[in-house]
Amino acid sequence: MSKERATEPTPIAEKKQAAEPSRRSDMTSEQAAAMILAPYVTEKTFNQIEKENKLAFIVTEKATKNQIIEAINILYEADIEEVNTTRTIRGKKAFVKFKTPEGARDLATKLALV
């Protein structure tokens, strides 16, 4: 009897499998462009591009980390390792770390920031 239970998928596992494929196809390129307002470059963020492989963006106030990752994947076709967000006077900022070693520098060059 215990062997039968072990082979049956749990409801939690079924929900995870069902949620995975639909997560990436929900956002359109227009929605992604509306979510990522602008790249944010200062002397400090320029150093982050060079030393930490991070790029900063101003995003909409309601953007979640997963939505930011998805939007950047759609807009710039870049692989993201992690996203940190903060709220400031200028709006919500997202600090995006790239998986590839030169990802931030390559995207900054594409966007004519460096």
60: closest CA among 37, 80, 40?
A: 37
pLDDT digits (tens, 9 = 90+) for 60-110: 999 999 999 999 999 999 999 999 999 999 899 999 999 999 999 999 999
Residue 61 lies in a domain: yes
The answer to whether the pTM exceeds 0.85 is no
CATH value at residue 33: 3.30.70.330
In the predicted structure, residue 38 carries a pLDDT above the cut 70: yes
> What is the rounded CA–CA span in Å between residue 29 and residue 74?
6
Domain boundaries, position 49: 28-110
Split into its structural domains, the chain has a count of: 1
Going by pLDDT thresholds of 50, 70 and 90, the confidence category of residue 114 is confident
108: closest CA among 26, 61, 42, 63?
A: 42
